[in-house]
Amino acid sequence: MQTGMFSKRVACAWVLAMTMTLGAGIAHAQVARIAAVNSDRILRESAPAKAAQVKLEAEFAKRDKDLQDMAQKLKSLSDSLDKNGASLSALDRAQKQRDISQLDTDFQRKQREFREDLNQRRNEELAAVLDRANKVIKQIAEQQHYDLIVQEAVYVSPSIDITDQVLKALAAASGNGASGSSSN
């Protein structure tokens, strides 16, 4: 009979210990600090992202202008051929068509190269912005004792969204001359 009571006491103690352990785990889980950041907003609204956009526009402005000029020249030549083609000799008309065709091929090649170069540089600049943002997010996490900060989520409650805080920290870092963008 003693053994039966002992087994019941051990079982009760075990259940009590497990309940306390689970309760402690639940209490600990409720204390975890979680936050979320909207990466799209960082890439659109942050000071480093805006500076990167201005830098890219300046870097590619001349090539863009050259492409626009080339497109205008191509259009003018084509319009001229359409307007005056009937009065030209067959040989002159064929030569102008070849010139237009060659210019069009050059234009398309340069336009493709422009887009590829622009996309590559944009990706480089955005990667640098995200790298800076991730450093700021890590600093905020350490300073404010967050256990988890997510950047991509289906839904984020405004109460845990720290995107504005990250944007302010990035603006402050940019304002202190810590631009961090590479000059190529």
Q: For the chain, what is the mean pLDDT?
A: 84
Confidence class for position 19, pLDDT limits 50, 70, 90: low
According to DSSP, the residues that pair with 161 across neighbouring strands are 36
Query: Per the confidence metrics, is the pTM higher than 0.95?
Result: no
Instruction: Compute and round to an integer the Cα radius of gyration of the chain.
Output: 32
Q: Is the pLDDT of residue 16 over 70?
A: no
SS (H, E, C) the chain: CHHHHHHHHHHHHHHHHHHHHHHHHHHHHHHCCEEECCHHHHHHHCHHHHHHHHHHHHHHHHHHHHHHHHHHHHHHHHHHHHHHHHHCCHHHHHHHHHHHHHHHHHHHHHHHHHHHHHHHHHHHHHHHHHHHHHHHHHHHHHHHCCCEEECCCCCCCCCCECHHHHHHHHHHHHHCCCCCCCCC
Q: What percent of the chain has pLDDT over 70?
A: 79
**What pLDDT, in 10s, does the model give residues 96-153?**
899 999 999 999 999 999 999 999 999 999 999 999 999 999 999 999 999 999 998 8
